[in-house]
Structure 1
Amino acid sequence: MAASATMFVQSFFHGTRADLKAGDVIRVGHRSNFAGDPLSWVYFSGTLDAAIWGTELAAGGERQRIYVVEPTGPIVDDPNLTDKKFPGNPTLSYRSRDPLRIIGEVTEWQGHSPEQVEQMKAGLARLTAEGLNKIID
């Protein structure tokens, strides 16, 4: 099958509570949005919904933010989501060892219902209590 040209470019998103601006970079070596040790990868998604989950579940009291990011190096599928939870990577979840450059911020987005967020947080707390909430880093 021949590849066809498209005028659309894949956008990538990173949900967080960090206060950043266009031109800043997100680097490895920071803790996950969800806690734990510093990571050797930076994580991002090709779907706004996954980035919304990232910011809604992020620890801290700062304002929830979603940045449009540009990878500066090679990217790979995020095995935390694509190996068993969502085979085939429908969430378009990726990671990279190279920085992500912020090229913009999504300022208007619709979050999940408070009930959905609490249900997800309760599930993560349960996994943490059972020692199963590990990030494959």
Structure 2
Amino acid sequence: MSLLKALDSAPFYHGTKADLKPGDLIAPGFASNYGSQKKASYVYLTATLDAATWGAELAVDEGRGRVYIVEPTGPIEDDPNLTDKKFPGNPTKSYRSRSPLRVVGEVREWQGHAPEQLRAMREHLERLKQLGIEAIED
């Protein structure tokens, strides 16, 4: 059974700085919002608002962070960038897909992380970059 079937009742979110509207598709094959911005093989989604908030805050594009409510159009799987390397068992409820995500709405009111948390995360990501470790490995 695919993860999509197991989680079909969960609301899913995608954090970014892209200005999107309902009906838009977020698809792989474009420059990633993170790291060296190489062509993304997957699109990422989460079932937690906190993880989507991190995505909105850490995306490299200009503009304000946005959190969208999305629905997968195909199978999803656990995001190994988080589940295998950082958080076994997927407590962040983070997933990825090779199929597009359809934007169905936007979370207009969400709380960003404290400035010191955001600074610490950016410093951590910069240390990884200096070590040659990409934040997202497709």
Q: TM-score, normalised by structure 2?
A: 0.90
CA–CA distance in structure 2, aligned partners of residues 133 and 127 of structure 1: 7
SS in structure 2 of the partner of residue 61 of structure 1: coil
Structure 1 residue 132 displacement after superposition = 1.7
- Report the counterpart of residue 65 of structure 1 in structure 2: 66
What is the deviation of 1:29? 1.1
Q: Cα offset for 1:33?
A: 1.8
Shift of 1:85: 0.4
Q: CA deviation at 1:136?
A: 2.3
Unaligned runs of 5+ in 1: 1-7
Aligned-partner Cα distance in 2 for 1:88–1:134: 19
Question: How far apart, in 1, do the equivalents of 2:135 and 2:109 lie?
Answer: 31
Once residues 90 and 64 of structure 1 are traced to their aligned partners in structure 2, the CA distance between those partners, rounded to angstroms, is 23
Amino acid at match of 2:11: S
List, as ranges, runs of 4+ consecutive aligned residues in structure 1 with deviation greater than 4 Å. none
Is 1:87 matched up with 2:54? no
1:47 matched residue in structure 2: 48
What is the alpha-carbon distance in structure 1 between the residues aligned to residue 120 and residue 101 of structure 2?
Answer: 30
| Residue in 1 that maps onto 2:10 | 10
Q: How many angstroms apart in 1 are the aligned matches of 2:72 and 2:24?
A: 12
1:99 aligns with 2:100: yes
Moved more, 88-97 or 29-38: 29-38
CA-based RMSD? 1.3
Query: Which whole-Å CA distance do the structure 2 matches of 1:112 and 1:32 have between them?
Result: 22
Distance 2:135 2:53 in 1: 21
Q: Who wins on radius of gyration, i.e. which is larger?
A: 1
| Deviation string, structure 1 residues 23-53 (Cα, Å, up to 9, x no partner) | 0000001222213211110011010000000
Identical columns (%): 60
Q: What's the secondary structure of 2:68's corresponding residue?
A: strand
Partner in structure 1 of residue 5 of structure 2: none
> Structure 1 length as normaliser, TM-score?
0.91
User: Residue type of the partner of 1:18?
Assistant: A
